[in-house]
Structure 1
Amino acid sequence: MIRSEILREVAPILRDQLVVCNIGLPSQELHMIDDQPTNFYMLGTMGLASSIGLGLALSQPKTVVVIDGDGSVLTNLGTLPTIANNVADNYILLIVDNGSYGSTGDQPTYAGKKTSLTKVAEACGCENVVECRAEETGEVLQKAIDAKRMTIIVCKCESGNVKVPVITKDPVVIRDRFMAAVAS
């Protein structure tokens, strides 16, 4: 399975959650698959979805699911010790690990070579880290939501992209409707 297939599978599970989605193709894919006011699409800051999601989880009680990529997490490795040391049981980080920088042409990441983001997260002190195959992602995500315990999920999948349109919504509109969803 590739990232877009995983997003299609988990989209129904995400409908009742606050979602922060990584920059580039992941946001475009989620927007195309199931645009919701509860989805915050990152449009210009690689590596910060996990940090923004953690801040959101720490500031309010609703469940926050962050969809991030291995390349993005690798650009902000400081996020993993920050997550480990600021536990929010309403926070789930779903790292879609396809071993590549999917949005820029599928160049390999170090997670596609020797680096295990599962082991890195554990070494940083994250206590509930689950690695799964792409086909298991929906089940693992639902269990994490039901457990109400901070969880890092590293979903191993194939590299690959589908053609998607760019998000034409104004960033201010995306922000405002998301803020309204957080407040409701």
Structure 2
Amino acid sequence: MSKPNLLHRRDVVKALLADRKGAIAIGGLGAPTNDITAAGDHVRNFYLWGGMGGAAMIGLGLALAQPKLPVVVITGDGEMLMGMGALATIGLQKPTNLSIVVLDNECYGETGGQMSHTAVAADLVGVARSCGISDSRAISTMAEVEAFAKSMQDVSTGPRFASVKIDSANLERVLPTRDGMFILTRLRGDLDLAPL
């Protein structure tokens, strides 16, 4: 049973990607990748199966390489805590087309549900803001999620950061392919990028 006033992760992700237009979506390690897949597999989804803590930096790289496209990173609190240093680099580089959404259930869902630092002391919105990401906010309603989803389409006003408090429901996994070359090649092909 979920706590009152917490949003459901799959509803949040579905709303974020409902009108994605040409956005590239990077799924952080674990449940966020499953949530993005549950919202609908897409040629511009980039799923992480390893490299915990790397989602925001991959988003930064794609945002810098594709400045005319919206890029959204959807990750969890554990993954973002591991990669907090990325927020300092993003705040310095200021890619205007990058949005980062942290699905914060205040626990490490992939390793057994232990309480994460965001349940007690870590304020990811404050960290993002202090790193120079001025559009950093806490989101607690679906109306705010939908408004944030619209703002993600504006490639001239970012970077932006949102922490969304979600319930800690243990949902059925909706797994995308684990073939890294397939994921990379299909994204490159859709963006007309030459192979490395």
Moved more, 57-66 or 147-156: 147-156
For 2:83, give the aligned amino acid. Answer: N
- In the TM superposition, residue 166 of structure 1 has moved relative to its aligned partner by 3.1
Give matches, 1:156-171, under 5 Å: 156-171=165-180
Match of 1:155 in 2: 164
Match of 2:153, SS state, is helix
**Corresponding residue number in structure 2 for 1:145:** 153
Separation in 1, partners of 2:168, 2:141: 11
Structure having the larger proportion of residues in helix:
1
Partner of 2:13: 7
Q: Which amino acid aligns with 2:93?
A: N
SS at match of 1:114: coil
Where 1:85 maps in the other structure, the secondary structure is helix
Q: Describe the SS at the equivalent of 2:101.
A: strand
RMSD of aligned alpha carbons: 1.8
- Asked if 2 retains the 8 angstrom alpha-carbon contact of 1:4 and 1:162, the reply is no
Q: Are the structure 2 counterparts of residues 147 and 53 from structure 1 closer, same or farther at C-alpha, using a change threshold of 3 Å?
A: closer
Matched, 1:25 2:31: yes
How many residue pairs are counted as aligned between the two chains? 184
Q: What are structure 1's unaligned runs of at least 5 residues?
A: none
1:73 and 2:71 equivalent? no
**1:51 partnered with 2:57:** yes
Once superposed, which parts of structure 1, at least 4 consecutive aligned residues long, lie more than 4 Å away?
none
Q: Deviations over 1:61-111 (max 9, x none)?
A: 211111111111111111111110011101111111121122223221101
Identical pairs, percent: 29
**Greater shift in the superposed pair: 88-97 or 131-140:** 131-140
Letter in 2 for 1:9: A
TM-score when normalising by structure 2: 0.86
Q: Give the TM-score normalised by the residue count of structure 1.
A: 0.91
Residue 126 (1) aligns with residue 133 (2): yes
